[in-house]
């Protein structure tokens, strides 16, 4: 890893953390595209690397801040967490068998559709 690559990785991590703490998103919107465009990762490698950061309590301090202010529904979070683990496993089984170019297109279309819905939806 070169110094410039390390600096890019540090900036990606910082931006993803800032956006995640402020808006509740980060991995898919910041980390995955940044690893692809700035470091030349394949879609699979970017997604796998982004998922790897979830193994550690990366959002702990942000969650504590939201919880202190009454913005965390623990019951809903626990239910989502359990189903997220199951869904992530099933999704990974599917994803690793999709060609990289197709996976990148699916990812981009999904982000586009979510963006449009957030902008014009209720």
Cα angle: 118, vertex 38, 32; to 5 degrees: 40
Mean pLDDT (the chain, rounded): 88
- The pTM for the full model equals 0.74
- Would you list the domain boundaries of the chain? 3-120
pLDDT surpasses 80 at 84: yes
């Amino acid at each position: 890893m070169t110094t410039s690559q390390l600096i890019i990785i540090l900036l990606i991590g910082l931006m993803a953390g800032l956006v995640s703490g402020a808006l509740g998103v980060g991995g898919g919107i910041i980390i995955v595209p940044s690893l692809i465009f700035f470091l030349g990762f394949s879609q699979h490698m970017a997604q796998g690397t982004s998922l790897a950061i979830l193994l550690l309590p990366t959002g702990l301090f942000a969650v504590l801040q939201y919880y202190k202010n009454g913005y965390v529904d623990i019951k809903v979070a626990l239910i989502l967490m359990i189903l997220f683990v199951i869904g992530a496993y099933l999704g990974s089984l599917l994803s690793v068998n999709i060609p990289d170019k197709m996976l990148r297109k699916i990812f981009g279309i999904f982000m586009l559709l979510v963006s449009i819905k957030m902008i014009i939806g209720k």
